[in-house]
A and B are shown apart, each in its own frame.
Chain A
Amino acid sequence: MGIPITGQIINMCAALLLLIAFAMLSQRRILSLINLFSLQGLILAISTSVVAYSSQQQHLYYSAALTLLLKAIVLPMILHRLIRKLNIKWDVETMFNIPTIMLVGLALVVFAFNLAAPISQMAATITRSTLGIAMASVLLSFLMMITRSKAVPQVVGFLAMENGLFFAATSATYGMPMVVELGIALDVLVGMFILGIFFFQIRTAFDSLDLKHMEKLKEE
C-alpha cells in the first residue's frame, strides 16, 4: 500500500464530493438539493480535519470547525427557513435535458483533471491528487448555476462553488490563511442574507422566483 490510511480517507471524501456535485447537478427538488448541500459541507469538514490531522496543521482544525458550523448547519438552516417562508419546499424545477447536462459535466471533469495534472505533480501535499476533483466540483457548480432557472437553486450552486474553492485551497496548499478564510466565511453568510432579502423582493415584483421573468428588465 503506497498511500497511508489518512490519504485514502481524503481520496474517498473527494470522490464523495464529486458524486454529490453530480447529484446536485441532476437534483430537481429544492429540499433535496439543500440536504445535498448540507452533506457536502459535512464531508468537506471531515476531509479538512483529516488533512489537519495528517499534516499537523493546527489552523486547519479551525477551518474544519468553521466549515461544519457554517456550511453544514447554519446555511442549510437559513435555506430551510427561507423555502418554508417562501412556501416552495416541494417545488420541482423544470430543467434542461438532464442526461445532456451530465455529459457536459463529464467533459468538464475531464477538462479539470487535465488542467490539474501539472499542478498536482508540483505540489508536495498529501492531498495533491484531489486538486482535479476540487476544480471539477467548482466547474460543476458553475454549470449548475447556468442550468437552473429558479433563484434558490442558483444560490445553492453559488454556495457549492464556494465549497469547491475551499476544497481546492485545502488540497493544493493546506488551506488559505485564517484571515482569508474568516473573511470568505463572513462574505458567504452576508451574501446569503442579502440574497434572502432579494428572493422576497423578486417575488413581490414578479410573483415568481423564476428568473426568466427578469428578462423584462432588459432595455429595448
Chain B
Amino acid sequence: MFASLGVSPINVILGVTVFWLLLGLGGLALQDNRIITRVIFPVGAIGSLILATAALGGLSGVDTAVLPIGLPDLPFHLRIDSLSAFFLLLLGASSIGITLFSAGYFGRMAVQELGLLCLEYHIFLASMTLVFLADDAYMFMVAWEAMALSSYFLVTTDHDQPEVRRAGFLYLLIAHVGAIAILMGFGVMQGGHGDYTFDTMRHGHLSAYWASITFFLALFGFGAKAGILPMHAWLPEAHPAAPSPVSALLSGIMLKTAIYGILRVSFDLLDIQIWWWGVVALTLGLFTALFGVIFAAVQVDMKRLLAYSSIENIGIILVGIGLTIIFHASGKEALAALSLTASLYHSINHAFMKGLLFLGTGSILHATGERHLGKLGGLIHKMPNLALFMLIGTLALAGLPPLNGFVSEWLMLQAFLLSPGLTQAYINMLVPIAAAALVLTAALAGFVMVKFYGVIFLGQPRDAGLAVVHDAGIWERIGMLCMVAGCIALGIFPTFVILHLDFVAEMLVHNSLGTSAVHSGWLMLTPIAAERASYSPLILLLIIVSGVVLTMLAVKKFYHGRLRRGPAWDCGFPEQGARMQDTAEGFGQPIRQIFEWFMGVVRKMPSPFDLHPHYHAEVHDRLWNIFYAPIKRANEAIGNQIGKLQHGRIHVYLLYSFITLLALLAFIE
C-alpha cells in the first residue's frame, strides 16, 4: 500500500513516532482537558492505525535507515524486518483500541496531571516503537530506558498513595537490574570490536560458552521486563497501581517488547542455538505459567488477578520459545516454525485479550470505584455492553473456541504432540510432562476466568453502591469494541494470520507453516498435516451459532404459550442475600487448599467461642522470601556496617584521613 505511494514503511513509522511526540508535547502545552480527550487521543489512535498498516506492509521485506541524531560519530541505526514489523503490528493494532478508550477514561482527571500524562503516554508509545526499530545497541538501550522511565511515571500517576509509590519503585528497580543485564549481553555480543550495531553482531561469531552467557544475560534482562519467574515481583504490584489503559499498555504491549528482545537476541543476533537453552527456557516458562495461574486463582483484587494472568501468559509464550530453540537446535525446522508461530500468535492474542480485560476493569473502576472483587457483583444488569465485551474477552483468555486464545494454545499443544522423535532421550521424557503442565495451566486459566467474570458480573450486587452505576461511556465502548474485533478476527481467520506470521518464521528459523497450513484451503487450519489435526473456527462458529439459534427456535416452538413464570426454588432459604453468594475468596478456596505448599498462606481462624468470628486468610508469594528477602537483608546489613563508620566524632573522622594518608604514603614507598 505504501510502496505504491513511493513511501517506505520505515519512514511512515518514524513519521508516526514524531507525530506522537508532537501530540504529547501539544497536550502538555495546551493543558486543556477537552482538547486532550476529544482531539489528541483520538488523533493518536489514527497514528496507531497508520503504524499498524505500515508494519503490515513491512512484514515481507527488510528496510534500514540511519538517523543522523545521537552522539557524534554514533548515529542511530534503524531497521525494519519481519520480526520487528510483526511486533510493530501488534503495537499499532492493539494501541488503537487502548488509545480510544483512554480518550474517554482520562476525562475525569485534573487538568495539570492530564497534560503530563498525555505526554508520558505518547512518549511511552513512541519509545516502544523505537525499541522495535532499533538496529544498534545504543539506540536500543536509549529507547528501552525511555520506555522504562515513561512507563514508571505512568504507573505512578496516583503517586499520592504510598503503595503506588512503592510499586513504582519496585518496578523501576527491577527494570534497571534487567537493563544492566541486557547491556552486558550486548557487550559480550559485540565481541571486542567496539561496534555496537546489530549488523556487526549478526555477522559475528561467538563460541558456545560466550553465546550461552549472552543468551542467559538476555533471558534474565528481558525476563525482568516480562515478569519471568524470579523477576516477576514487580508485575502484580505495578499493573494494578497504574491507571487501567496504562495497565493495558503495560501488559498487552510492553511485556511483548521483552519477548521481542529474547527472540531478537537468540535467533537473529546469535548465530548458534544450543538445545539446552531451550530446556531452561521451557522449564522456566512452565513454572512461570503455573505460578501465574495459581496465584491468579486466589486473588481478590481484579487487576491483580489480571496481572498474575499476564505472568501466566508470558510463561506460555516462553514455553513456545523454549520449544522453538529445542526444535531448531535439533534440526527440526518445520516443528520449530510451528512452535514459534504459536508463540507469536499467543503474543498478539494476549495483547488484545488482556488489553480488553484491563480496559474493562477500567470501566468498572470508573463506574464503581471498586477493585475488590468482594464488593462487586451483578454488574451484568447495570452494564450490559461492558458485560458482553468482557464475556468475549474472558472466553478468549480462557482459551475457548472459536476465539483467538484457543488457536494459539492449540497450536502450542500441537507442537508438543508432534515432538516425539527428538534426538535427546531426556527431552523426550520431559515433553509429555511439559505438555501436561501446559494443559493444566490452560484449564486453571479457564477456572480463573470463570471466577473473574462470575464474581464481577453475575449474581447479586455485593455492595449497596452498585445499584446506581452507569455503563461505559461512548469512547470507552469504541475502544473496547476495537479490542473485541481483534479477538474475534484473530480467532476466526487464523490461516490469514499465520500467512503473515510465516514471514517471521521464515526469517528466524528458515521454515514456515505456509504451504502445509493452508493447503486444505483457507477455511481449515492444518499445522502439519490434515490427517493429524485440523481446526476450522469458522465452521465451529457456524455450528455454535446454528445450534443456539435452532435450540432457541425449538424452545420457542414447543414451549410457546406454555411458559409459566413463578418464584424460583429457593433451596429452603427464603431470604437470599448478596452475602450468601459464593465470594471471590470462596471460589479460589479449593485452589488455595490444593496448592497451599506452593504459596505461603497465613490463616487466622476465629476461636469457637468468638461471638463475632472473623476469618482471614492471606496469600504470600513465597518466592519473595526466597529470592528478594535475602538480597534485601544483605543490603541492609551492609548498610548498617557502613553506617557504623559515621560516629559524629571529629577525632575519628580525622583519624580516618590520617590512616588513609599513612597508608597511601606507605603504598607509594
Binding site for B on A (CB under 8 A): 111, 114-115, 118, 139, 142-143, 145-147, 149, 154, 211-212, 214-219
Contacts and interface: CB of A to CB of B under 8 A. Distances in A.
B567 interface: no
Given A114-B669, A145-B654, A146-B654, A217 B648 contact: yes
B595 interface: no
A134 to B, nearest CB: 13
Contacts of B658: 142-143, 146
**Interface of B (DSSP majority class):** helix
Contact of B646 (A111, A147, A218): A218
Interface residues of B, number: 14
Contacts of B662: 111, 139
Interface string B621-659: 000000000000000000000000011111100110010
B648 A142 contact: no
- Sorted nearest first, the 10 A-B pairs with minimum C-beta distance are A218-B648, A215-B648, A146-B654, A211-B650, A142-B658, A146-B651, A146-B655, A145-B654, A215-B649, A115-B669
B665 interface: yes
Contact of B648 (A115, A145, A216): A216
Contacts of A154: 650
A215 B650 CA distance: 8
Contacts of B554: none
Nearest to A135: B665
B436 interface: no
Nearest to B654: A146
B651 A211 contact: yes
Contacts, number: 37
B183 to A, nearest CB: 35
A111 B662 CA distance: 9
Given A142-B654, A145-B654, A218 B647 contact: yes
B661 interface: yes
A35 to B, nearest CB: 24
A219 B646 CA distance: 9
29 contacts: A111-B662, A111-B665, A115-B665, A115-B666, A115-B669, A139-B662, A142-B654, A142-B658, A142-B661, A145-B654, A146-B654, A146-B655, A146-B658, A147-B651, A154-B650, A211-B649, A211-B650, A211-B651, A212-B649, A214-B648, A214-B650, A215-B647, A215-B648, A215-B649, A216-B648, A218-B646, A218-B647, A218-B648, A219-B646
Contacts of A145: 654
Contacts of A211: 649-651
Interface in B38-71: none
A147 B655 CA distance: 9
Nearest to A118: B669
A218 B654 CA distance: 16
A147 B654 CA distance: 9
Nearest to B653: A146
Nearest to A154: B650
Given A115-B665, A211-B651, A217-B648, 20 more contacts: A111-B662, A111-B665, A111-B666, A118-B669, A139-B662, A142-B658, A142-B661, A146-B651, A146-B655, A146-B658, A147-B651, A149-B651, A154-B650, A211-B650, A214-B648, A215-B647, A215-B648, A218-B646, A218-B648, A219-B646
Contacts of B651: 146-147, 149, 211
A139 to B, nearest CB: 8
Nearest to B657: A142
Interface in B384-401: none
A130 B647 CA distance: 37
Nearest to A117: B669
Nearest to A218: B648
A155 to B, nearest CB: 12
A211 B649 CA distance: 8
Contacts of A114: 669
Nearest to A108: B662
A147 B114 CA distance: 61
A106 B580 CA distance: 88
A21 to B, nearest CB: 15
A114 B648 CA distance: 34
Contacts of B648: 214-218
Nearest to A143: B658
Contacts of A218: 646-648
A187 to B, nearest CB: 18
Contacts of A217: 648
B337 to A, nearest CB: 62
A62 to B, nearest CB: 30
